Amino acid sequence: MPFSDYKTALVTGASTGMGAAIVERFCREGLEVHALARNAERLNELAARTGCIPHAIDVCDLPAVTRLTQDVQFDIVVNNAGISTKGSILDAAAADIDLQVEVNLQAVLHIVRLTMPGMVARDRGHIVNISSIAGIYNFNGNSIYAATKAGIHALSRQLRVDATGRRVRVTEICPGRVATDIFGHVHGDIEAARKQFIDGFELPLPSDIADAIAFAIAAPLAVNISNMEILPTLQVPGGLTTIKRDPADHNE
């Protein structure tokens, strides 16, 4: 279905990184793009640059999100907002669990609940969920984040079942490392994280993710691109670790 068959789009986590790039890409396609994020200043800058409609709303503010979805009939929804905290479940605080589940999974469920029934009724629409290779492959740390993104992976497949027989398409975008500031937000030092995780690496840019989403949306109506795993060419996920312990190394 070409972009011309859609009129409105909602993008969450829209103020920076992949979210801002998706907003820019959609605006170039002529959509009425509603950009949702907490940072009003950055949203206003994005609006001035692209013509999008800014909404300084926390994605977890259910009453505000509900009002927006009641006011606007969305043809495309991109669930991009996400958050991660450093460390595994072994050193996680209760607040780490609650926040990530609320932002990464619960908010997505609510937004889909509020927008997908209208798409099904109109027999037209596209939901794009941003997951992560963290939800598919195991590696050290970020246990809670991985669990929430695994939930998004399962949800994305289930939504296609829920919309069986209707022309509502669902695409899961599953990125590896992308050149954004998410690592700085996790570690608390954007410059140090950029040096550790971004500088010197050949990585996809946020605009590359936006272009991939545009490709999925612009596919013919009979085509649903259900999952796209997008990694740097030089990044290999997975691996197998086996630990050999000294028999004397045990707790009584």
Please list, in sequence order, all residues whose beta carbon lies within 8 angstroms of the beta carbon of residue 201, skipping any fewer than 6 positions away. Answer: 177, 179, 232, 234
The confidence score (pLDDT) of residue 139 equals: 81
The confidence score (pLDDT) of residue 181 equals: 74
Instruction: Quote the CA–CA distance of 139 and 112 in Å, as a whole number.
Output: 29
The confidence score (pLDDT) of residue 249 equals: 73
The confidence score (pLDDT) of residue 195 equals: 79
Is 145 catalytic? The answer is: yes
Residue 19 and residue 37 in contact, taking contact as beta carbons nearer than 8 Å: yes
The parts of the chain modelled with pLDDT lower than 70 are 1, 183-189, 193, 250-252
Which domains does the chain carry?
3-230 (3.40.50.720)
Q: What is the mean pLDDT of the chain?
A: 92
The confidence score (pLDDT) of residue 199 equals: 85
- Candidates 3, 26, 74, 145; catalytic one: 145
Burial call 225-234: b when 16+ CB within 10 Å, e when fewer: bebbeebeee
Assessment of whether the complete model's pTM goes beyond 0.95 = no
Residue 230 and residue 215 in contact, taking contact as beta carbons nearer than 8 Å: no
Residue 107 and residue 129 in contact, taking contact as beta carbons nearer than 8 Å: no
The confidence score (pLDDT) of residue 49 equals: 97
pLDDT digits (tens, 9 = 90+) for 169-194: 999 999 999 998 776 666 666 777 67
